[in-house]
Structure formats: C-alpha cells, structure tokens
Chain A
Amino acid sequence: MKSAVDGEGAVSIVDVENLRKQFDPPNGVVAVDGVSFAIEKGEVFSLLGPNGAGKSTTISMLSCLLRPTGGDALIDGHSVLDQPQSVKEAIGVVPQDIALYPDMSARENLVFWGKMYGLTGTDLRRRVDEVLELVSLVERQKDRVEKYSGGMKRRVNIGVALLHRPKVLFLDEPTVGIDPQSRRSILDGILALRDQGMTILYTTHYMAEAQELSDRVGIIDHGKMIALGTHEELVRIVGEEAHVRLRVDHDLLGMVDHWSAVPGVSRAAIDEEEAVLYVHDANAVLPQLFETSAAAATRITEVSVTEPNLEMVFLHLTGRALRE
C-alpha cells in the first residue's frame, strides 16, 4: 500500500494528481481539467465552486464511477485507475440526490446496502443498529423511507455510506434543497464525524458551509482548481481588510473625506450612494467613524461590515459571484 507523505510528515489518504475528465473526447466538454490536491488523514477538505464547476465529476472519478481521461488519484494508496475495487472498499459515498429505495424501510435499506459493502451476519446487524443510532432514526427504523421528511431521508442517505466504516467519506452537496433545520442537523453530524477523526471530502457551492466545516478548501471553477488552502490562506488572496459600508443622511462626499483620515482606514471610496471603507480591524474603527460623523453633524443611516470570506475570494479570482 502506498501512502503520500507531504514535506511535514503528514500522511495523505487522498492524493489527486492532475486529474482530468473529458466527455466524448477529443472534442467533448472538459469537465475537470488537471485538478490536483491532497487530503490528510482526519482532515475535512471542501471543494467549493458554483454549479457545473466540476465538483461532482471529480467526486465521480474518485468514486470510480467515471474513469479519468488523464491523471490519477490514490485513495488510501490505491489507484482509482488500476485498483478500483480496493478504492471502493476504502470510501463511503453520499451522492447529491437521495439514493435509497423508497418502498423499503430505513433498516431494510441499511441492511441491503450493508450487504453491498460486504457486511454479513452479526456484524451487519450491529452496524445497522449503530448507524440508526447515529442518524437518530431508531424509532422510525421500520417506516418506509418514502414516508420520511427530506431531512430524515438525507440522514439515512449519509448513514448508508458509513455502514462499512470507510476510511474516507465523500459528501457531494448533501445539503442541497433541504430546510435550514435539517441542514443544521446534517452539518452538526458532519462536525461530529470530523471530531471522530473521519477524513471527509465535501463538495458545496455554499461558502458558509465550506468555511464552517473545512480544514482546507479548494476553489474550483470551469474544471480547474483556482485556489487551495486554509480559510485564512485563501482570504489573504483578497487582503485581510474588512469592508465597511455606510450610508448617511447628507454630504456623503464630505464624510468620505473625513473618514479616509481616520486611523485604521486604508482606503475610502464611493459606491453609488454608499461609502466603502477598507479597514484592518472593523471593531476598532467603527466607534471613530461614528464620532467623526457626529462631529460633522451628519447622521449615519445604515452600516454594514463584511469580513474577508471565500465569496470575496471567488469574486476576486473569477469576477463572478459563487451563486451566479
């Protein structure tokens, strides 16, 4: 078994090297174009990008569902090209859509999928019980899945992928199309798995999820990895300044002049009817901004602070918002 070890001695359990997928070559669409990244054991790594960026195609190749047209990936030391069987034994995949049998109960689904993962007998029954406990569906385990709420189905959907205790869990946008309460429940579940040391590859187009869950984030767009690093490393791309936006009842131009002289404000500009100030520490600067406006007999009518985030990084790198 091969394991990739980075320069600091950390063991990579997922090592993706120049992965490429072109549908219907040579003239077909290139969905993934030379993506490379590595995930360490116990790490939560998010692939962040808009719809159609190539996140699901990447997951499909890592799950051995699609064969790469270039590059390779090692999962727990096994090549997705040459050792798909070993790769499948190491991974658990939570697909984007609910992939369960609606006319079967949660327990029946788990038993069936457990068998597909090679579990049998007592081991199978014990794992099904544990997973039902984990997804909080012990009480409803005998109800048909078609009678479940969307959130409950999502939980079973995730539970299936955990049955065989995978070394790496792939979650492909598991919170798409569900209510906020169910989303919170799923995110908490993923955080719990992270705390247990599970290695997770998570794809999403929600910046907040990537920011909350991940140790590191890879930003992907048009099939290419355009940025990769920790949250702090990524926001450094756009600088570490927060944006403070202010509206006033009169004399906007005059106030921008006053505010630009306030210590801590590095730059000031006008965007339509707002003043936009670039600051290093918004909490420290805000009281001075209010004092300045009071001294000028100008009333602040609206204020907002935007800390540097991945949305801004994506906007900075692509010129587009994540949701576009």
Chain B
Amino acid sequence: MIQIAAIAWKDLRGTARNLPALAMMLLAPLALAALLGFAFGGGESFSISPIKVVVVNEDEGPLTVAGAALPNAGNSVAGVLEGSALQDLLDVSRSESPARARSLVDEGTRAVAVIIPPAFSRSVYGAASNDQATVELYQDPTEGIGASIVESVVDQTLLTFNGASAAAAAATALAGADGTAHEQAAQAAAARYVEDGGAEALLGVAQRPPQLPAGKETRDVGVTAVILAGMMVFFLFFGASNVARTILDEDQAGTLSRLFTTPTPRRTILGGKFVSVFVTVAAQAVILLVAGRLIFGIRWGSPGAVAALTVAAAVVASSLALLIISLVRTPGQAGAIGSGVYLILALVGGNFVGTVATTGIYATLQRLTPNGWLLRAWDTTMRGGSVGDIALSLLVTFAFALVFFIVAIWRFRKRFA
C-alpha cells in the first residue's frame, strides 16, 4: 500500500508540475464550452442537423363563417411546414394520431411533433372563441434551436391568420348585432382578438420528458452545460492518457526496469500507476464541475448521481488510457494513436453534438462508446435524474472499464513478463 501511494504521489506531483498538460486538461474544455456556448446563444440549446418533424392534422375544417367558405387552417399550417421553401431545414413526416407522434418524439425518432387539433379552423376563424384550440408542439428538449425554428415557422403561419381571424370575429359580431352598431361592434371584436393575444394564443408548446421515470420533473439544460459535459468527458480521456503515458516515459528512462528490480511486485507498480491516473482524472472532473458551476452557473444534478458519474468517467478513462499505453511502445505512438482513438470515440459518442439529440443509426453508434453512455447519463443527471435513472449508463460504463482494464493487464503481463 505504501508503494502504491508512493508511486501515485510521485506521478501526481509530476502532473501538477506539467503546466501544458494542466492547461489542456482544465482550461481547454472550459474555453471551448465558453466559446461554443457563446456562439450558439448562451443558454439556448442547438442542433445542426435537419429538424425531424412529425405533423398530425386533426383539423375538421373547412367551415363557413358569416356565410363565407374558409380554407382548412390545419392544412395551411401543415402545408407551410412541408413546403419546398423549408425542405432543407425541416424533415417533415405525417402521423395519424397525436399519441403516435408523441411516442416518436419520446423514442428520439422525431425531434418535434406538431399536433393540430380538430377545432383548429373554428378557433382560428373565431367560430369557437370560447373553446380555444391550440397547436401543440411536442418537442425533444435537447432540440432547443430546432424546436424554436419549428415554433417560429408555425407562429409566423398562425400570424397570417390574424387578419382572417379579426375579420371573422368582426363578421360574427356584425351578424348578431343591431344594424346601427355594425362599425363599433366590428372594431370591438377586432380589438378583443388582438388584446387576447391573437395567433400566439393558438400555439402551445410541450416538451417531452427526458429518460426519467414518469412523474419526475425535469429541468431545461443550457447549451453551455451540454457542451461542457461533452468537452469534460472528451478531455478526461486526454487527461488520463497524459498520466498513463508516464509508464512509457519511465520505460524509456529506465526507471520502470529499475522498479522491477526492487522487491515491489509488478502488480503493485502498475496499481500505483492506475491510482495516479484515476486520481488525476477524478480531480480534473471535480475541478471542471466546480468551474462549470461557478463560471457558467451549470446545475449538474444530484450530488449522488454526479459523484457516481464522476467516478465512472474517471474509471473508464483510466482503463482506456492504460489499454492504449499497453498496446504501444513509445510516448510518441501513445500521443498519435491515443489522440486518434479519443477523437473517433468523441465523434461517434457525441461529445461535439450533444448526444441525446441524435436519432437512428447515430444513436445506436453512440451506444457503442463509453462516451455515448456517459453523455446520456450526464444529460439525464443535469435534467434532474437520480443515480437510479442513470444506473444502466453507469453499468455499461463500468463494463467498458472492466474490459479495457482486463485487456490492459493482460497486455502488460505479456509485455513485462
């Protein structure tokens, strides 16, 4: 135990004196999160891919108001969303039932569901002023910018109905009024429509809950938090690699061989190395979490879940770093190959795009990486999830770590036998 502590302490001191490495481990993720967060609007979430929208049009129109036939308002809204002008921005499909559309969002297949209610035309044209029917936007909360775009499109479309609504309201008022008061009644009806909020009152937005058990409240998460979580996981792997590389440095310097000539068992020596990597990465995570809270005001979630995730991230990063080191011969190789592996894992795992926003094959690929599972868990935790809510992610992450560690030990035993 004394030997493990001595080796770990020696390596930790070396890391603490390595300013470039510290800058990469601590400042880089914070700087990237700040820059990207600023670029994408601070607290707003964002998406860079075409927004997958599902439309349900239950509108029963057309109808007649004051003797005039009016177009089906639901068809108009759906038509705008499906139109050629927005085809690069929106990927729209249709669904027959609101329940199915919501489930598509819940599954992650669609980002936003636009649900047009049966009485929508009647509501738009003022024939159902006492029974307000609203368009429902049911959205994946991580698709903040995507959902905002859809909301904006729908909102603008609804605004075009303002004139018609006002006219309809006026006509309705006129039809039932005394002949001498036509003009005043029309003005009063139009004013009432505007005062009531016009088209805005026709639009409702509902966010789908993230992967939390039914009944739990969720929090919105800002873009900076999403980015910092991704960057933190990404740079934890780099931090682990930096410390694990001391095995190769010591191998080249001859101190590893000298350690092997002492009575300290090889498993103790490698154990000390693992402890130093783990402690470094865990400290890096804690510093980034605290900095994220203090600088960006990020609410990471319940202490238990955050602690469990921090440990899981540190363990898997340490194990992967040892695995990579066990497979290469020189620090140079470790740098080149390690960087490649971490970058690929980050790209596939979603460190740069906010993992849970993705769907389809990409979502499946993410689940093949420890990064993907960690990011899913961070997303859930930041939205208020508990340890229980991220249990599967934790389990899979530890399984990754175990496999990496076993292979690394096997390689080291073979190499240093």
Query: Residues of A at under 8 Å CB distance from B?
Result: 63-65, 67, 85, 88-89, 91, 93, 95, 97-101, 103-104, 112-113, 115-118, 120, 160
CB < 8 Å neighbour of A64 from B10, B14, B261, B264: B261
Instruction: Tell me the complex Cα distance, A287–B2, Å.
Output: 70
Contact B14 A115 (CB under 8 A): no
A271 to chain B, nearest CB (A): 44
Contact A115 B2 (CB under 8 A): yes
- Residues of B close to A113: CB separation below 8 A: 258, 262
The 6 closest A-B pairs by CB, nearest first: A99-B254, A99-B258, A116-B262, A93-B261, A115-B6, A88-B263
Instruction: Tell me the complex Cα distance, A306–B94, Å.
Output: 104
Instruction: Tell me the complex Cα distance, A95–B261, Å.
Output: 10
Contact A103 B255 (CB under 8 A): no
B95 to chain A, nearest CB (A): 64
Residue B32, interface by CB 8 Å = no
Query: Residues of B at under 8 Å CB distance from A?
Result: 2-3, 6, 10, 13-14, 17, 253-255, 257-265, 417
- Tell whether A89 pairs with B261 under 8 Å between CB atoms, given A115-B6, A116-B6: no
- Residues of A close to B6: CB separation below 8 A: 112, 115-116
- Residues of A close to B264: CB separation below 8 A: 116-118
B15 to chain A, nearest CB (A): 11
Contact B10 A101 (CB under 8 A): yes
- Residues of B close to A116: CB separation below 8 A: 3, 6, 259, 262-264
Contact A112 B262 (CB under 8 A): no
- Tell whether A65 pairs with B257 under 8 Å between CB atoms, given A112-B10, A118-B263: yes
Contact A115 B255 (CB under 8 A): no
CB < 8 Å neighbour of A93 from B14, B255, B258, B265: B258
A263 to chain B, nearest CB (A): 57
Contact B255 A88 (CB under 8 A): no
- Residues of B close to A88: CB separation below 8 A: 261-263
Number of A-B contacts (CB under 8 A): 56
- Tell whether A63 pairs with B261 under 8 Å between CB atoms, given A115-B3, A116-B6: yes
Contact A65 B260 (CB under 8 A): yes
Q: A67-B417, A95-B261, A160-B258 are in contact. List 5 more A-B contacts (CB 8 A).
A: A63-B261, A104-B13, A116-B6, A117-B264, A118-B263
- Residues of B close to A101: CB separation below 8 A: 10, 14, 255
- Residues of A close to B255: CB separation below 8 A: 99-101
- Tell whether A99 pairs with B253 under 8 Å between CB atoms, given A63-B261, A65-B260: yes
Instruction: Tell me the complex Cα distance, A64–B17, Å.
Output: 33
Contact B10 A104 (CB under 8 A): yes
A172 to chain B, nearest CB (A): 11
Contact A120 B2 (CB under 8 A): yes
- Residues of A close to B3: CB separation below 8 A: 115-116
- Of all chain B residues, the one with the shortest Cβ separation from A67 is B417
Instruction: Tell me the complex Cα distance, A118–B14, Å.
Output: 22
- Residues of B close to A65: CB separation below 8 A: 257, 260-261
Point out which of B6, B10, B262 has the most chain A C-beta atoms below 10 A from its C-beta: B262
Contact B260 A89 (CB under 8 A): no
- Tell whether A95 pairs with B254 under 8 Å between CB atoms, given A104-B10, A116-B3, A116-B6: yes
- Of all chain A residues, the one with the shortest Cβ separation from B6 is A115
- Tell whether A99 pairs with B265 under 8 Å between CB atoms, given A67-B417, A112-B6, A116-B6: no
- Residues of A close to B253: CB separation below 8 A: 99
Instruction: Tell me the complex Cα distance, A97–B251, Å.
Output: 12
Point out which of A65, A103, A115 has the most chain B C-beta atoms below 10 A from its C-beta: A115
CB < 8 Å neighbour of A117 from B17, B254, B263: B263
Instruction: Tell me the complex Cα distance, A67–B253, Å.
Output: 21
A201 to chain B, nearest CB (A): 13
Contact A85 B258 (CB under 8 A): no
Contact A85 B265 (CB under 8 A): yes
- Of all chain B residues, the one with the shortest Cβ separation from A63 is B261
- Residues of B close to A103: CB separation below 8 A: 13-14, 17
Instruction: Tell me the complex Cα distance, A61–B6, Å.
Output: 27
Instruction: Tell me the complex Cα distance, A67–B265, Å.
Output: 15
- Residues of A close to B254: CB separation below 8 A: 95, 97-99
Instruction: Tell me the complex Cα distance, A85–B255, Å.
Output: 18
- Of all chain A residues, the one with the shortest Cβ separation from B11 is A101
- Residues of B close to A95: CB separation below 8 A: 254, 257-258, 261
- Of all chain B residues, the one with the shortest Cβ separation from A62 is B261
- Residues of B close to A67: CB separation below 8 A: 417
Instruction: Tell me the complex Cα distance, A63–B260, Å.
Output: 9
- Residues of B close to A104: CB separation below 8 A: 10, 13
- Of all chain A residues, the one with the shortest Cβ separation from B265 is A85
A89 to chain B, nearest CB (A): 5
A86 to chain B, nearest CB (A): 9
Instruction: Tell me the complex Cα distance, A65–B255, Å.
Output: 12
B412 to chain A, nearest CB (A): 15
- Tell whether A91 pairs with B17 under 8 Å between CB atoms, given A116-B6, A120-B2: no
- Of all chain A residues, the one with the shortest Cβ separation from B17 is A103
Instruction: Tell me the complex Cα distance, A95–B255, Å.
Output: 9
A159 to chain B, nearest CB (A): 13
A-B contact pairs, 17 of them (CB 8 A): A63-B261, A65-B261, A88-B261, A91-B261, A93-B258, A93-B261, A95-B258, A98-B254, A99-B253, A99-B258, A101-B255, A104-B13, A113-B262, A116-B262, A118-B264, A120-B2, A160-B258
- Of all chain A residues, the one with the shortest Cβ separation from B262 is A116
Instruction: Tell me the complex Cα distance, A118–B2, Å.
Output: 8
A255 to chain B, nearest CB (A): 56
